Structure 1
């Protein structure tokens, strides 16, 4: 919930980033290359723009519940709508849900068990529901005041009021939400206290997002209007039925999530050089979140207007079509993650590991753990990958060396303990949970992984400092509760570096199999396409990226065609059944493909 700024002429929203907000209207300028604003086209006239049209819709309904997500600029949007209502001489009764939150101290006590230790990066996934944050008797029994022409219940949880005619929902993309958190412009549910960024994010991840996503899923079929509130000067919106029909259409054909990008202490320059739409004044880009379902959005386009919904909105409605045979295991949880790690002219990733399955379940409440692979998209000659232990590893000696490095701030001779491999383009390194690993500088890593993404136990960080000049948190104890010291010596070369082979050759194409570790629940192939290839989904979701070549065309079974460029990630749902990839560039197109085993 944002600070109440309704008395100001315009809201004071600060974004902690140099990156621009996504445009509300698509540019007609042709760009032949990687796009940071991919969109899925729907029928003309489905997306409306501006507060005037939104105000007209609200007035027509007489009584409206305006629900929404944390970090929406409730005060700024209300001020914009009040101007429109005033122009129409409509008297409005505003009922704000924040007045029905339980006392802040009570909420703090309620969420405390899920936030872990004060100095910990992690909490535990909560089992609360949104109703527990409210005085529900007072909220649910609200009645419209007949002396007003328009009654609006306004804010998070508004749809709990069942006596009003319609539900509008104001959403905000996760990347924009996090930029506002970094700008100190956002608050947690039911809170008016400014926490530091670490605590705010921890409460978002382990509490707010859990309860708000469950609430959104529950009311999705009842929403009459959904608005994208990421812009401060306008708003785009879509009728609920049109949204649901569009999601249904998307679930049967190829689509590309909207990526977002973040700098980091070890970040590099490769993405800045190759993705021209990125803000070039950012110091570096460490990550591109190509598809991390809890944080990515999907952009709809109609008559040039753009509207972004969260990826999980699609999963809440269409998970069976998306996942096919994977649905019984994963439900509405999208299980595969693609992201870039860019260390070109940057630094080294920390020496790290990820938790065992039982450890992440018991300590953090997650259902799945963070099993990873590193696919080398590009690298310089001196680039390294650190993976597995040396044959003569002595755990106690390694731990003491790590602890001494923290206390004395001295460099660790990593290769004395951890094996060092020369990076090779198109090679796949296998990193199941409990495996020690790191990527050195001058790599562009495509990380193909299970979806969990924050459970990294850093044990050595190469003495790197964050932007405040402080060391990042080190988690030696967590690491040593999880490290598998049997992954050492020749076994690492044998079991943790994938031995690719030609699975099938066809006219104009071949399929390369990259065997993954038994711990990985996903498989990886590469489609090398000179001309074209037809692919069956076999009732599995396919996540793909063009890793070499300039562009390809993907045609679904209905004949719909979309073009994808180098380094772009796209998804073919299980329900698409089959598709054809055609190489549109010179030379061979190489397309990486991951699917559930």
Structure 2
């Protein structure tokens, strides 16, 4: 049976030797000796020290596998166990479908709306009240997503799963949405996960923080890694006061290219292409810890729940548990153009999709071939009605559109930053490696024209002309485009071995971008801001925080210096010249009051 659908390998159970000279796909942070346990025997040994234990967890967990792995261990110890499956207390799947329907729209809709439901809405309270740890048993185990609702004081083991592995299981049809009885199509399941399940279960996670005694990583089919929550909290605090990197993951796409294949050490080169590298899209990335060579991954939200103030500093009260900046790669080397697209305005994304802030983007050209281009802004004097008619005829009749009759095409040069505030028509052309520096929302792309090509599944990708035309800003045209939407670099500080270059973002962007160009060492301070960084030219840099925490980051690796790190020294390998991108939140912005009040 195929239990996951992906060309990407599973996370190794144990850390392998990695060359410090190359990009690391599995960046693991040391947790200390003896802090990560493995296997069901060790977990069972802890469980039997209690009379009642709750095993709660996220969507996508193979609960049958967890039970069948623990049962023989407990039986070997001669423990008489009663198992209580909290799934029996869920409302009927038809009732649940009615509950979630307002948030996921009709089948075939691309997007839904962030739910206002809570986990208790999915359960029958009277049934939960019948889950009583009584009778002639040595041990009662209440298990399943939501299990802690059935007992207010029992210690909790929380099982989690990285979002990429959840999606691989989703594609294979081996899991269901929360409260559903059967798996659906991947697109519908993802929409339900994004707008309902992840919202509900993430909110529920927060309520369990003080009760969780053990956290476990369940991404392997026959293996489990776990740690005591107090040890993880120490590790999380250490990262939040020093520096860290999330685990990246990679996806193929209709327009995907070949750059990542040739530059990322150990990546699966049999994949058809790589369109994306999720460098730091934190709703979907995890953080790796290592102890005695054993690896364990936790979803990034746990860092925010525990240490959002240390991580975000001056902006913690505004964004709370949301990490506001994302980094990802768009690889079109020897690939194709992205779709002609735009993203929703703040008002539109709030009204239609329930997000608190919108998908304002920038494209930083990390690498490109000669002749590569970026599509950005409209040509002077275009007629919106004619443009829309052409797009609709293409969608309905398969007629090609001469896009450059309407949209400007700009030469892509290395280290140029193109600005894409919401409502701006844009696309990355072929033969680029784009570092996309953006606000965190990441699925709200209104495609208007996709070059008449199918997706990797052979089917046309969704075209959303009406959504786009409710958001397009047609004033971004003509000569104003280059002036307003291409950052004009300006040196704002310099010294003997460095210069600090400001790449100004648009007024609509609530984040800004600097490029630090230096050789040898430089000292930087956070000034109460969270810094998201990437080495965009050079081999490697070493970051040493004021706390003495030292980490080496290689070319193309994204890393974070949290606000609480205060200051650090960055040293280039062999004192060679390097360029380092730094993205950070602007000190003030009109949108902050709206975000904070949501």
Q: By how many angstroms is 1:533 displaced?
A: 0.8
Q: By how many angstroms is 1:32 displaced?
A: 2.4
Q: Following the alignment from structure 1 to structure 2, what is the Cα–Cα distance between the partners of residues 29 and 323?
A: 30
Aligned to 1:328: 317
1:61 alignment partner, SS class: coil
Aligned to 2:37: 48
Aligned to 1:102: 91
Q: Following the alignment from structure 1 to structure 2, what is the Cα–Cα distance between the partners of residues 91 and 328?
A: 49
Matching residue within 234, 240, 247 for 2:229: 240
Aligned to 1:91: 80
Contact preservation (8 Å) 1:144, 1:164? no
Matching residue within 273, 276, 281 for 2:270: 281
1:495 alignment partner, SS class: helix
In the TM superposition, structure 1's runs of 4+ consecutive aligned residues that sit over 4 Å from their partners are none
Aligned to 2:589: none
Q: Following the alignment from structure 1 to structure 2, what is the Cα–Cα distance between the partners of residues 302 and 468?
A: 40
Contact preservation (8 Å) 1:557, 1:576? yes
Q: By how many angstroms is 1:392 displaced?
A: 1.9
Farther-moved stretch of structure 1 (185-194 vs 548-557): 185-194
Aligned to 1:126: 115
Contact preservation (8 Å) 1:545, 1:568? yes
Q: By how many angstroms is 1:123 displaced?
A: 0.2
Aligned to 2:361: 372
Aligned to 1:179: 168
1:279 alignment partner, SS class: coil
Aligned to 1:453: 442
Deviations 1:385-418 (A, max 9, x none): 0000000210000001101111221221111100
Is 1:467 the counterpart of 2:467 in the alignment? no
Aligned to 2:591: none
Contact preservation (8 Å) 1:526, 1:590? yes
2:560 alignment partner, SS class: strand
Aligned to 2:372: 383
Judging changes above 3 Å, is the alpha-carbon distance between structure 1 residues 133 and 468 closer, same or farther for their aligned structure 2 residues?
same
Q: Following the alignment from structure 2 to structure 1, what is the Cα–Cα distance between the partners of residues 318 and 2?
A: 41
Q: By how many angstroms is 1:163 displaced?
A: 5.1
- The Cα RMSD (Å) is 1.1
Aligned to 2:535: 546
Q: Following the alignment from structure 1 to structure 2, what is the Cα–Cα distance between the partners of residues 45 and 234?
A: 18
**1:398-413 aligned within 5 A:** 398-413=387-402
How many residue pairs match? The answer is 586
Q: By how many angstroms is 1:28 displaced?
A: 2.9
Deviations 1:266-301 (A, max 9, x none): 001100110022111111110001111110101111
Q: Following the alignment from structure 2 to structure 1, what is the Cα–Cα distance between the partners of residues 152 and 408?
A: 65
Contact preservation (8 Å) 1:550, 1:586? no
Aligned to 2:517: 528
Q: Following the alignment from structure 1 to structure 2, what is the Cα–Cα distance between the partners of residues 578 and 141?
A: 55
Aligned to 2:560: 571
Contact preservation (8 Å) 1:289, 1:339? yes
Q: By how many angstroms is 1:29 displaced?
A: 4.8
Q: Following the alignment from structure 1 to structure 2, what is the Cα–Cα distance between the partners of residues 582 and 18?
A: 36
Aligned to 1:5: none
Aligned to 2:102: 113
Matching residue within 422, 425, 432 for 2:421: 432
Is 1:588 the counterpart of 2:544 in the alignment? no
Q: By how many angstroms is 1:145 displaced?
A: 2.8
Matching residue within 460, 465, 476 for 1:476: 465
Matching residue within 262, 279, 290 for 1:301: 290
Aligned to 1:493: 482
Q: Following the alignment from structure 1 to structure 2, what is the Cα–Cα distance between the partners of residues 587 and 244?
A: 37
Aligned to 1:35: 24
Q: Following the alignment from structure 1 to structure 2, what is the Cα–Cα distance between the partners of residues 325 and 560?
A: 23
Q: Following the alignment from structure 1 to structure 2, what is the Cα–Cα distance between the partners of residues 456 and 561?
A: 39
Q: By how many angstroms is 1:247 displaced?
A: 1.3
Aligned to 1:193: 182
